[in-house]
Amino acid sequence: MNALADFIINSLGLSGLSAELVMLLLVVAVAAAVFGIGMTISGLLTLAERRVAGRIQSRIGPNRVGPFGLLQWLVDGLKLIMKEDVVPHDADPHMFRMAPYLVVVGVFAAFASLPFGQLLIASDLNVGILYLLAITSLVTVGVLMSGWASNNKWSMIGGIRAAAQIVSYEIPTALSVASIILISGTLSMQGIINEQGGWPWQWYIFYNPFTFAVFFLYFTAALAEGNRIPFDLPEAESELVSGYNTEYSGMRFAGFFLAEFANIYLMSAIATTLFFGGWQIPGVTPEQQAGSLVLQITGMVVFMSKSAVGCFVVIWIRWTLPRLRIDQLMSLCYKYLIPLSFVCLGGNAIYLLIFPKPSSANTLVHMITTLFGGVLIVIFVTRVMYHHRISGVSLDLNFLARGEKGKYNPETQVRAYGSFRKKYEKKQGAK
Amino acid sequence: MTTVIRELGDEQRELVLNMGPHHPSTHGVLRFVLHTDGEVMRKAVPEIGYLHRGLEKIAESTTYPGYVPYTDRVNYLEAMFANEAFSKAIESLSDIEVPERAQYLRAIAGELNRIASHNITIGCITMDLGAITPFVHLLRERETINDLIEALCGQRVTHHYVRIGGVAYDADDNWLKQVEKFLNHFEAIIEELDNLIVYNEILVKRMADVAVITADDAVGFGLVGPNLRASGVDWDLRRDMPYGIYPKLDFDVPIGAGEKGTVGDCFDRFVVRVRELKQSCRIIRQCINNIPDGDIIGNVSRKIKPPKGEVYSCVEGARGELGVYVVSDGTEKPYRVKWRSGSFSAMSIIEHISEGLMIADLVAVIATLDVIAPETDR
């Protein structure tokens, strides 16, 4: 962004106060753009969640507003804006009103250092990943505040659950991120991507067996930090009704809602950056990419597709698994995830001690890990296909299904048989 | 701000939570007063009466055939069984002979109803534990059953199919073929259910060893049906107090075996219901193969006037023994009708077993005990 600012200021020949003013305007513009991108992504994700859930549950999902229902999220947002912003009588009004801002700021400020492309990053901080871990912690404060200020016992339990959960799961998240930092030697998001390559065996997930394990640790911990099933205890629909956001309505509720979905994208994008080579295109070096606009755009598409796959997996898990109990959640974190993260961190350190520099032995380890990962994927797909085959249901992955408008075909309906079938046929005969 | 924690003593601090009457996991209008210490419960006290409709009082001003449609409303998930229990009572009071074909049709319709009801229960258990998808899939299967029953008698939920002396409509061969087609499809779904959700690790962890009801407790609190059988008590009215066509049929009674934990835990109550689906399919297949031709309703006069006397009649519903006690004073209206339902006794045991559970466990307990609000209150 600094380069852009310099370019504009120099070409306009500005100096002194006016240069500062342009800089300020530019900062505001970029912040607005980042916020807008974040909002659009989380809005589209709400729609994606509903369409994917629809397919998983043998139904269609929203498909009426706009082509394929693509404008549904806009209309929902509009509805929420127009709703009354209710503050409960016994609530602490100032805290109650402030809480959603903290959640929204905590999540959307993180978008500032997400590397959407080689040049498409609002601010490539040299402590990028540390900034991300730190700023998302604001969410905890907001959630706890909303739960407490609502003065609703169920909300309070939700808020306290959220605080306990997010604080606990930040430890394995940070430890797994530390493993990657150890390998890359940099905290900058672009730096971490530059250290990787376009091909799968150049990604950090297949760097060595420890990073392979670290990815799953990170993914589990991030799911828990994002309050997603199987770790969605703070809002557990069937236990706490809706947890900390029960009392919220209108745009404040939308704040929580959008922040949750932005968080899904955030964790997928961070995973893409840390483990899946970010915007790196197979067979193209970062230097080549820097010189070409087409390759820049391709890189952006690559990043977005990788993180979209991550989001899909998160949604898929949401609609498949049941929820853990709070004690099981805590024991999973403190008894399994944290010790395993420490083991992986130590393992990575020892690995780096043995193979400090890129060498052929190093490449061999990458290749073997990649092969192992590939075999796992093949086993998984085979299992899914096997169970799908024995269930005898036809595969339908059309996530943009339109559905039939009000068509009722008595021939295909069971109810058309029996005594009612005769009535139907009599009616047809009369016509 | 009002304070939410009240002081009880030096070490006794408790949070009193009000769960219901409007709460997603109380399945209707139930209310529990939870005394908790953080997440752990001291006790949960159930409150009933929100759905009292005076069904027993209504009977006193209605004729016997006129009361049969009211019995549909005892429990909206198992209307067939309530119809059957009441009809059976009047039949034994006034010695009405039920034709064999009608008995077979009652068994087919009843078992279809049992599958539909268990579909809802199993789906609700998984949904209350956080997995929403199985509920939707099972609801889809229930929809087919509703279609089948609609084709049989024109009603989807409140069937009013079983009448005093027989059944209301006959089923043609085409309908029976459709039922068989559904069974072929549904038996594969039961296998899929096992693969997808029943042995899901998280689900097992959430339910195994939670809220164990011993056999003594189960009998003592009058639990019936799947709840009783999950505690290891081998008792099924269809086999042990046979009625209708059931003595001629061959079926197993699944009982809780502590598959993943202790006998009588939540997982046993869940899995007993899953196993019953298969047995119901077996019963329906036998009925379809053996159903004779003949009348569907016995010789019943328009005005039924049972002789003076009283009778208790019960059937094995989806929630266990659904009994009705009828006192006749010789007129065409009953003198007194009293319902005995499985959900009521299931509610009464919750306070006893709730100590030391977590709030999330209580949700599992309510779901696996299969408490249906209208059935507790009538």
> How far apart are alpha carbons A421 and A426 in whole angstroms?
9
**Domain identity same for B165 and B282:** yes
Q: What is the pLDDT of residue B251?
A: 87
- What percentage of chain A exceeds 70 in pLDDT? 87
Residue A246 lies in a domain: yes
Cβ atoms of A262 and A269 closer than 8 Å:
no
**Domain identity same for B127 and B231:** yes
Residue A421 lies in a domain: no
**Chain A residues in contact with B182 (beta carbon < 8 A):** 414
* Mean pLDDT to the nearest integer, A260-289: 87
Decide if B182 and A414 are in contact by the 8 Å CB cutoff: yes
Radius of gyration, CA atoms only, chain B = 21
Decide if B188 and A59 are in contact by the 8 Å CB cutoff: no
Task: Give the distance from residue B34's alpha carbon to the nearest chain A alpha carbon, in angstroms.
Answer: 12
Assign residue B310 the CATH number of its domain.
1.10.645.10
A379: pLDDT strictly greater than 90:
yes
Q: What is the pLDDT of residue A413?
A: 45
> How far apart are alpha carbons A115 and A113 in whole angstroms?
6
**Chain B residues in contact with A236 (beta carbon < 8 A):** 130, 360
The SS3 of residue B69 is helix
Name the band, by pLDDT with cuts 50, 70 and 90, for residue A410: very low
A298-327 pLDDT, tens digit each:
888 999 999 999 999 999 888 888 888 888
* Mean pLDDT to the nearest integer, B191-202: 84
The verdict on B338 touching A (C-beta cutoff 8 Å) is no
B23: pLDDT strictly greater than 70:
yes
Give the DSSP letter string of A185-217. Answer: ----HHHHHHHS-SSGGGSGGGSSHHHHHHHHH
**C-alpha separations of A425 from A417, B9, B56 in Å:** 10, 75, 42
The verdict on B356 touching A (C-beta cutoff 8 Å) is no
**Domain identity same for B195 and B82:** yes
**Domain identity same for A167 and A196:** yes
Decide if B150 and A420 are in contact by the 8 Å CB cutoff: yes
**Domain identity same for A225 and A312:** yes
Q: How many domains does chain B have?
A: 2
> How far apart are alpha carbons A428 and A377 in whole angstroms?
54
**Domain identity same for A367 and A254:** no
User: Dihedral sign, CA of A354, A170, A39, A238?
Assistant: positive
The verdict on A420 touching B (C-beta cutoff 8 Å) is yes
Give the residue numbers spanning the domain of B15.
3-47
Decide if A416 and B25 are in contact by the 8 Å CB cutoff: no
**Domain identity same for B8 and B105:** no
**Domain identity same for B26 and B62:** no
Q: What is the pLDDT of residue A430?
A: 64
Q: What is the pLDDT of residue B6?
A: 47
Distance of CA B218 to the CA centre of its chain: 16
**Domain identity same for A118 and A264:** yes
**Chain A residues in contact with B190 (beta carbon < 8 A):** none
**Domain identity same for B278 and B370:** yes
**Chain A residues in contact with B171 (beta carbon < 8 A):** 418
What's at A167, amino acid-wise? V
What's at A115, amino acid-wise? P
> Phi/psi at A70 (nearest 5 deg)?
-70, -20
**Domain identity same for B190 and B315:** yes
Name the band, by pLDDT with cuts 50, 70 and 90, for residue A428: low
| A317 HSE (CA, 13 A, CB side) | 19
* Mean pLDDT to the nearest integer, A216-238: 82
- What percentage of chain A exceeds 90 in pLDDT? 12
Give the residue numbers spanning the domain of A225.
84-354
**C-alpha separations of B202 from A410, B128, B130, B279 in Å:** 42, 13, 10, 27
> How far apart are alpha carbons B317 and B83 in whole angstroms?
11
The verdict on B143 touching A (C-beta cutoff 8 Å) is no
Q: How many domains does chain A have?
A: 2
Cβ atoms of B165 and B98 closer than 8 Å:
yes
**Domain identity same for A339 and A324:** yes
Averaged confidence pLDDT in chain A: 82
B340: pLDDT strictly greater than 50:
yes
**Chain A residues in contact with B130 (beta carbon < 8 A):** 229-230, 232, 236-238, 321-323
A423: pLDDT strictly greater than 60:
no
* Mean pLDDT to the nearest integer, B176-203: 84
* Mean pLDDT to the nearest integer, A141-156: 86
Cβ atoms of A265 and A45 closer than 8 Å:
yes
Angle of helix B133-153 versus helix B100-128 axis, rounded to 10: 160
Cβ atoms of A321 and B131 closer than 8 Å:
yes
pTM: 0.85
Task: Give the distance from residue A390's alpha carbon to the nearest chain B alpha carbon, in angstroms.
Answer: 8
> How far apart are alpha carbons B162 and B297 in whole angstroms?
10
Decide if B15 and A59 are in contact by the 8 Å CB cutoff: no
Comparing alpha-carbon positions, the chain B residue that sits nearest to A149 is B1
B341-375 pLDDT, tens digit each:
888 888 888 888 888 888 888 888 888 888 888 88
Decide if A419 and B169 are in contact by the 8 Å CB cutoff: yes
**Domain identity same for B207 and B68:** yes
- What percentage of chain B exceeds 90 in pLDDT? 6
**Domain identity same for B221 and B149:** yes
| B274 HSE (CA, 13 A, CB side) | 26
Q: What is the pLDDT of residue B2?
A: 44
B132-165 pLDDT, tens digit each:
888 888 888 888 888 888 888 888 888 888 888 8
> How far apart are alpha carbons A369 and A380 in whole angstroms?
17
**Chain A residues in contact with B361 (beta carbon < 8 A):** 325
Task: Give the distance from residue B138's alpha carbon to the nearest chain A alpha carbon, in angstroms.
Answer: 10
* ∠ Cα B49 B55 B60 (to 5°): 135
Which of B30, B175, B196 to mutate: most A Cβ within 10 Å?
B175
